[in-house]
Homo-oligomer: A and B are copies of this chain.
Amino acid sequence: MEPWKTAITHSYENHIWVRGKDITSLMTNATFTDLVFLLYQGRLPSPEERRLLDAILIGVADHGPGSPSAAASRLVATGNRQAPEAAIAAGILAIGDAHAGAGLACMEIIKDGLDLARRESLTIPDAAGRTVDLFLERKERLPGFGHRHHTSDPRTPILFKMASEFKLRKDGIEFMEALEAAVQKKIKPLPINIDGALAAVLHDMGFPPLFGKVMFIVGRVAGLGAQVMEEYTREKPMRIRIPVEYDGPPPEIKD
């Protein structure tokens, strides 16, 4: 078999390098968030970039046991007490398009919108308006706006404020805010949610769209592990009873 090629980690004899940096130096001097940045960008972050990525990872780490990812982890943990990896993996599998997939989708919208602006020499507000029109035309919901629990997400202004203070605010945030204005004008006032906010900030930090989902998984796994351990230590196996109502064909009763 052909060797598998990789540019990520190199390990031989008693050395390990990640993106060319010695693991023992990293362990001594770096933070885990530095390593996440290094793994996906190939360089260590500036202090400001690190703090912004920290804020994003913290922002997505947990949202209680009722989110689909945590609830799936809890349900698996209730039936499978000996394999926490199974419960955590099940939670990750819920991170699809409808649950937290908005980060990835928004990063693609921002990228496409800014490409459109460049290609057709539009202002950012005009490109944002065209983007909203496109979604209205297709009758699709624009991701990154609104939240099923919060009328205004407390995490959004913090991220944007940190990005501004750290001078990391670029055209991604600008586009997202133009999108918010266009949404307000063409649809109704809807706040940028955490998915929209982190998409803009991650775009401005140079991450590709797919990282929007991967980063959510990296952050959320910390919360899923805690949910699973709480289920194991505080609850009995098989404790969850979902109420069910049958509405199919009537049972054929045997004589």
Contact = CB atoms under 8 A, between A and B. Distances in A.
Interface of A: 1-11, 13-28, 30-33, 35-36, 39-40, 42, 53-55, 57-59, 61-66, 68-69, 71-72, 74-76, 78-90, 92-101, 148-155, 158-159, 162, 208, 210-211, 213-215, 217-219, 221-223, 225-230, 232, 234, 237-238, 240-252, 254
A254 B150 CA distance: 19
A152 B31 contact: no
A243 to B, nearest CB: 4
Nearest to A90: B90
A218 to B, nearest CB: 5
A92 B92 contact: yes
Contacts of A54: 27, 30-32
Contacts of A76: 68, 72, 90, 93-94, 96
Nearest to A245: B3
Contact of A217 (B23, B150, B210, B225): B225
Contact of A71 (B3, B94, B230, B242): B242
B80 A82 contact: no
Nearest to A159: B27
Contact of A4 (B65, B232, B248): B65
A75 B68 contact: yes
